[in-house]
Amino acid sequence: MLNALEQDGFAILPEVLLASEAQRLIDEIDRSPLTRSRAGIRHAMRHPAMAHLAREPRLQEVAREILGSEAVPFHATLFDKSPRANWLVVWHQDTALPLRDQRDVPGWGPWSVKDGIIYARAPAGALRQVVALRIHLDNCTVHNGPLRVLPGTHTEGVLTDHAIEKFAARIAPVDCVVPQGGVLAMKPLLIHASSKSQAEAPRRVLHVEYAASMTIESDLELAVA
């Protein structure tokens, strides 16, 4: 896993949770009072069942192996793609981090506020201290809108939209097909996208971001969201 992450920016772990555990979370989500967008649920750490899963020892052990001695889950998003809510995402990097307060720190910004949470575009040094684990609650196939990645692009730093387009034009994309209960580990700076689903089967993924410390850089504190 560590070699794949270092070289490609992502790694697939096919059997981390049981199918029954994934289904249990789906049932909890269906009962959730949290506001849903067309794509799913933002700030999923507010949901007790999703926050509990983010702290599940098996997942934290994976994150610790990547980040070092500590791995704190601080941000989660539920992506819920289905025939009723079908969407695509263009090629991009994950460069925004939730923060407890806004301060004028070189390399950070622009700043924004989403659902009461402060966000800033982070520099590459801070983003390299974060790893995302995408927990697949359904079987993800080539037909139901899997994540697509451009291997190796996580080493290129924070890129402009034009630079991302240039990489997308010359690097062959990889479809990240992951079974139910499997996990995709990825670096935030890896260029990625997803297409619309072409199948009836849903594709629900809990995307959890972990950091080695809640103090990310220059005394900036990550927010739990």
Question: How many CB atoms sit inside 10 A of residue 148's CB?
Answer: 18
Residue 53 lies in a domain: yes
Task: Output DSSP code: residue 47.
Answer: S
Q: For the segment 192-222, what is each residue's pLDDT rounded down to a tens digit?
A: 999 999 998 899 999 999 999 999 988 899 9
Q: Does residue 101 lie within any of the structural domains?
A: no
Query: Does residue 167 fall inside a structural domain?
Result: yes
**pLDDT per residue as tens digits for the range 80-107:** 998 788 888 999 999 999 999 999 999 9
66 inside domain: yes
Share of the chain above pLDDT 70, in %: 99
As a whole number of Å, the CA-based R_g of the chain is 17
Nearest to 141 by CA among 203, 205, 207: 203
pLDDT at residue 179, as a whole number: 96
Average pLDDT over residues 58-86: 93
pLDDT digits 0-9 by tens, 162-193: 999 999 999 999 999 999 999 999 999 999 99
Strands (E), 45-195: 72-81, 89-92, 96-99, 111-114, 117-121, 130-136, 147-149, 174-176, 183-186, 192-194
Decide if 48 is inside a domain.
yes
What does the mean pLDDT of the chain come to? 94
Considering its fold, how many domains does the chain have in total? 1
Q: What is the pLDDT of residue 222?
A: 98
pLDDT of residue 73: 98
Domain with 162, as residue range(s), is 2-94+126-212
Identify the CATH number of the domain in which residue 12 sits: 2.60.120.620
* Alpha carbons within 13 A on the beta-carbon side of 170: 6
Pair 206, 137: CB distance under 8 Å: yes
- The secondary structure of the chain in percent helix, strand, coil, rounded to multiples of 5, reads 25, 30, 45
